[in-house]
Amino acid sequence: MDYSVDKGWHNAVIQPYQNIEISPSAQVLHYGQAVFEGMKAYRQGESIVLFRPEENFKRMNRSNARLNIPEVDGECLLEALKQLVALEKDWIPEGEGESLYIRPFVIATEPHLGVHAALEYKFMIILSPVGAYYGDEQLMPTRIYVEDEYVRAVRGGVGFAKAAGNYAASLAAQTRASELGYQQVLWLDGVEQRYIEEVGSMNIFFVIDGKVVTPELNGSILPGITRKSIIQLAEHLGYEVEERRISIEEVLDSEHISEIFGTGTAAVLSPVGFIKYKEREIKISGGQTGSITQHLYDQYTGIQAGTIPDPFGWRVEVPVT
Ligand code: PMP
């Protein structure tokens, strides 16, 4: 679908995956006006199930607004997405944990060398089947490296948006982490580099004295849809949930933290087994998956898979004809 100032969004088409042509002067290539989303569709018998898709489109429009990209009608996008996944139903794997990954994104295509909000854009959705994140169905605790030099986002910046540039800015730290044997980067706040923000592609939760605690949204953390859903689910299951600032000292020195886990569309819930900060490395839950993490994972994936009733109305079923 294309955008121009005179026509607004127009030319919505579904076509086979193919290369696209953009000008070498397209603004996205120079000034980084690009926003994306990530979501999944599941095949369950004769239905396709989307999970809270309206949340992704709402978040995309918040990202768009921050990057001065025109709003896209969320209802129209949901309708388009339903048509698209129904058409591609044969590509959606049916195994446990398998899904169709959905990547909506918008880029500035106006050919113009000079910094201004572009006058032309392209919105696209691409799809790819993905296997189960945990191959053998066992949750695998991850090793996390706390970045103490670079920051991912600052207050007033674009941290809350799913802006492509946020990921470009995180790559050097990600490379350093993997060279040191860690799978994910844990980002600290951009002011004092002291308070926990989020992991490279996940939000983060701590079990402190039996309470489920996560950093409060402060404008620089991405408001994850899994984060929001896990907060609702944990409360529903009777856990006490708290959103507040958590310092790195609290994480390193607290004897009260029994579990840590990340949340995101790809992994759903990922237990954290080890955290490395400067010279120190600490082990969480004996490097194993904690019982609250496992409980939330089982309940959440059960709701997604339709094996546990969905009291929240999160599942959006798409009829397949
Ligand atoms: N933080 C970042 C930086 C991410 O890229 C993601 C993945 N979208 C998340 C958190 C988790 O968000 P969600 O639960 O919506 O996938």
- Looking up residue 26, the CATH number of its domain turns out to be 3.30.470.10
Given the CA of residue 152, which atom of ligand 1 is nearest to it?
A: 3
The rounded distance, in Å, linking the Cα atoms of 164 and 229 is: 24
pLDDT for 137: 66
* Atom 12, ligand 1: residue with shortest CA distance: 224
* Atom 3, ligand 1: residue with shortest CA distance: 201
CATH code where residue 266 lies = 3.20.10.10
Given the CA of residue 37, which atom of ligand 1 is nearest to it?
A: 8
Which of 46 and 107 is assigned the larger pLDDT?
Answer: 107
pLDDT for 42: 94
Task: Say yes or no: 59 and 121 in one domain.
Answer: yes
| pTM for the full predicted model | 0.96
Give domain status of residue 149, yes or no. yes
In this structure, of 12-26, 87-101, 275-289, the range with the lowest mean pLDDT score is 87-101
Q: Number of folded domains in the chain?
A: 2
Contact (CB, 8 A) for 143 and 183:
yes
102, 202, 230: residue to mutate for ligand 1 pocket, most atoms within 8 A of CB? 202
How high does pLDDT run on average in the chain? 95
Given the CA of residue 55, which atom of ligand 1 is nearest to it?
A: 15
Task: Say yes or no: 176 and 69 in one domain.
Answer: no
- What value, to the nearest 5°, has the Cα angle with vertex 32 and ends 9 and 22? 60
Give domain status of residue 315, yes or no. no
Interface pTM (ipTM) of the complex? 0.99
Task: Say yes or no: 146 and 106 in one domain.
Answer: no
37, 174, 201: residue to mutate for ligand 1 pocket, most atoms within 8 A of CB? 201
Q: Would the CB of 224 count as within 6 Å of ligand 1?
A: yes
pLDDT digits (tens, 9 = 90+) for 240-269: 999 999 999 999 988 899 999 999 999 899
Give domain status of residue 319, yes or no. no
Domain range spanning residue 108? 2-130
What separation in Å is there between the alpha carbon of 82 and the centre of ligand 1? Answer: 22
pLDDT digits (tens, 9 = 90+) for 199-236: 999 999 999 999 999 999 999 999 999 999 999 999 99
E strand map for the chain: 2-4, 8-10, 34-36, 39-44, 47-51, 99-108, 120-130, 142-146, 184-188, 196-199, 203-208, 211-214, 241-243, 257-264, 268-277, 280-283, 315-319
Q: Within 13 Å of residue 170, how many CA atoms lie on the same side as its CB?
A: 23
Q: Would the CB of 143 count as within 6 Å of ligand 1?
A: no
Contact (CB, 8 A) for 224 and 270:
no
Q: What Cα–Cα distance (Å) separates residue 97 from each residue in 46, 47, 232? A: 17, 16, 22
Task: Say yes or no: 117 and 29 in one domain.
Answer: yes
Given the CA of residue 266, which atom of ligand 1 is nearest to it?
A: 16
Contact (CB, 8 A) for 105 and 35:
yes
Task: Say yes or no: 95 and 197 in one domain.
Answer: no
pLDDT for 136: 63
Task: Say yes or no: 288 and 175 in one domain.
Answer: yes
What separation in Å is there between the alpha carbon of 37 and the centre of ligand 1? Answer: 9
Contact (CB, 8 A) for 124 and 14:
no
Task: Say yes or no: 85 and 196 in one domain.
Answer: no
